[in-house]
Amino acid sequence: MYLDHFVLQNYRNLKEIDTQFDPNINIFIGKNAQGKTNLLESIYFLALTRSHRTNSDRELIAFNQEYANLWGKIHKSQLDLDLRVLITKKGKKVWINRVEQSKLSTYVGQLNAILFSPEDLDLIKGAPALRRRFMDQEFGQISQEYLFYASKYRQVLLQRNTYLKRLAKGETKDYIFLDVLSDQLAGIAAEVISRRFEFLKFLSSAASDAYDHISLAGEKLTIAYHPSISGIKSDDSREEIYEKLRANFQKTKDNEIRKATTLSGPHRDDIEFKLDGKNAHLFASQGQQRSIALSVKLAEIQLVHHLTDEYPILLLDDVMSELDHDRQSALLDYIHGKTQTFITTTDLEGISWEIIKQPKIYHIQSGEISLKKEN
Ligand SMILES: Nc1ncnc2c1ncn2[C@@H]1O[C@H](COP(=O)(O)OP(=O)(O)O)[C@@H](O)[C@H]1O
Ligand SMILES: [Mg+2]
């Protein structure tokens, strides 16, 4: 799939854009604070109806404006789509082919976008919460079921935690209702965990291939899922996972009442990146971590393709110049001809132009983009 015609109004410092993107490579060159990340963020928002930088949609509306508007024409192999998002201070609305969608979940996933920015390095060395957010965000855009169960899980978890607090305070003594909530939570958790296993299994193998491609050292990259409840294994069926979760909630409930919170489940699980079996968080160099993060992004492209038969678009924010020549060319070689790619950079010097074939090049200054005539 690719984003063909794109129209934007009042998105952060970008006032007005109306342009036809290249199906292959689009490059945006600009100094700091001109709107490069804002532009990629707006495309990401058109795809996912959320920003990778903030949870507050209001921030995205240009100062002193009432709304931000995004519109894109998407080409897929079978059909063309017209997507629109309107962000107002009261909330957001979305349209597919000019028909307003009452649920975001029917909209998300129509356009798939993978974004890679320097902050993605935190995926390997950052806190577990970042890796869970990564799973929820990325698996949510490829699977409506995952999106549904992950949000349902948050809802019931909150309910159970609230109830645990009431039990802890002695406001109620109805332990039967706790069991009801525990069973319900276990059922939804099993749906979330089994899908995480399934998607990570694919990601691990695709990331391993990508790592082979972009790293020259030849270590083997693997990704493992670590459930917070011991005894759950990747080849367990959904029912087995459910039974183990139920048994666990039974076992830990006294402790959970004392602590007034749910101590284990998908909200406490983690993933681990390993090079030759060793934890990359602890042992990988900065360069290796960069290659791992990039490999994971490339693996996501394969995952989207595997599940939807379409390649997502790729947004590379300020990362090209961080990669050396060999990695840049391995990357472009890997995505060549498959993935519409948007690249931002401050620095022309850092990019190996000879390996980028006929890109569309824009300059971006004070939130305005202009086409560069000749390369
Ligand atoms: N809601 C907003 N309205 C207007 N300008 C904004 C808004 N949010 C951020 N900005 C401006 O956007 C600029 C940063 O743009 P950004 O895309 O992050 O720059 P870069 O080109 O370095 O990636 C800053 O000058 C910031 O003040
Ligand atoms: Mg930026």
Q: What is the 3-state secondary structure (H, E, C) of 59-110?
A: HHECCCCCEEEEEEEEECCCCEEEEEEEEECCEEEEEECCEEECCHHHHCCC
CA angle in degrees (0–180, nearest 5) for 311-20-36: 80
Show the tokens assigned to 60: 């995205």
Say yes or no: CB of residue 31 within 6 Å of ligand 1. no
Distance of CA 269 to the CA centre of its chain: 17
- pTM: predicted TM-score of the whole model, two decimal places: 0.90
Say yes or no: CB of residue 315 within 6 Å of ligand 1. no
For a substitution probing ligand 1, which of 8, 10, 12 has the most ligand atoms within 8 Å of its CB? 12
Distance 39 CA to ligand 1 centre (A): 9
Show the tokens assigned to 37: 């990340």
Spatial separation of the C-alpha atoms in residues 263 and 60, rounded to whole Å: 35
pLDDT of residue 133: 92
Helix axes of 128-142 and 175-214: crossing angle, nearest 10 degrees:
80
Spatial separation of the C-alpha atoms in residues 56 and 42, rounded to whole Å: 14
Nearest to 197 by CA among 163, 262, 166, 241: 241
Distance 331 CA to ligand 2 centre (A): 20
Spatial separation of the C-alpha atoms in residues 309 and 77, rounded to whole Å: 9
Distance 299 CA to ligand 2 centre (A): 24
Spatial separation of the C-alpha atoms in residues 35 and 12, rounded to whole Å: 8
Spatial separation of the C-alpha atoms in residues 186 and 248, rounded to whole Å: 9
Question: Which residue's CA is the nearest one to ligand 1's atom 17?
Answer: 35
Query: What Rg, from alpha-carbon coordinates, does the chain have?
Result: 22
Show the tokens assigned to 32: 């700091």
Q: DSSP secondary-structure letter at 219? A: P
Distance 138 CA to ligand 2 centre (A): 21
Say yes or no: CB of residue 62 within 6 Å of ligand 1. yes
Please identify which residue in the block is written with the tokens 């060999």.
326
Distance 42 CA to ligand 2 centre (A): 12
Question: Which residue's CA is the nearest one to ligand 1's atom 14?
Answer: 33
Q: How far apart are the first and last CA of the chain?
A: 26
For a substitution probing ligand 1, which of 38, 67, 70, 87 has the most ligand atoms within 8 Å of its CB? 38
For a substitution probing ligand 1, which of 10, 11, 13, 17 has the most ligand atoms within 8 Å of its CB? 13
Cross-strand partners of 110:
none
Distance 327 CA to ligand 1 centre (A): 29
Residues near 231 by beta carbon (within 8 Å), at least 6 away in sequence: 244
Ligand closest in space to the Cα of 41: 1
Would you tell me how many other CB atoms lie within 10 Å of the CB of residue 50? Answer: 19
Question: Which residue's CA is the nearest one to ligand 1's atom 24?
Answer: 33
Say yes or no: CB of residue 227 within 6 Å of ligand 1. no
Distance 38 CA to ligand 1 centre (A): 6
pLDDT of residue 172: 95
Spatial separation of the C-alpha atoms in residues 266 and 269, rounded to whole Å: 5
318 CA: nearest ligand 1 atom: 23
Helix axes of 286-308 and 128-142: crossing angle, nearest 10 degrees:
20
Residues 340/24, Cβ–Cβ less than 8 Å: yes
Distance 38 CA to ligand 2 centre (A): 7
Phi, psi dihedral angles at 76 (to 5 degrees): -120, 170
Q: DSSP secondary-structure letter at 232? A: -
Q: DSSP secondary-structure letter at 28? A: E
Q: What is the pLDDT along the chain (375 residues), one digit of tens a residue?
A: 999 999 999 999 999 999 999 999 999 999 999 999 999 999 999 999 999 999 999 999 999 999 999 999 999 988 999 999 999 999 999 999 999 999 998 999 899 999 999 888 889 989 999 999 999 988 998 899 999 999 999 999 999 999 999 999 999 999 999 999 999 999 999 999 999 999 999 999 999 999 998 887 789 999 999 999 989 999 999 999 999 999 999 999 999 999 999 999 999 999 999 999 999 998 998 888 988 999 999 999 999 999 999 999 999 999 887 788 888 888 888 888 889 999 999 987 777 777 777 889 999 999 999 998 654
Burial 307-329 (b: 16+ CB within 10 A, else e): ebebbbbbbbbbbbbbbeeebbb
Spatial separation of the C-alpha atoms in residues 199 and 234, rounded to whole Å: 11
Nearest to 344 by CA among 34, 4, 12, 18: 34
Question: Which residue's CA is the nearest one to ligand 1's atom 5?
Answer: 13
Please identify which residue in the block is written with the tokens 């006929």.
358
Say yes or no: CB of residue 33 within 6 Å of ligand 1. yes
Nearest to 14 by CA among 44, 39, 46: 39
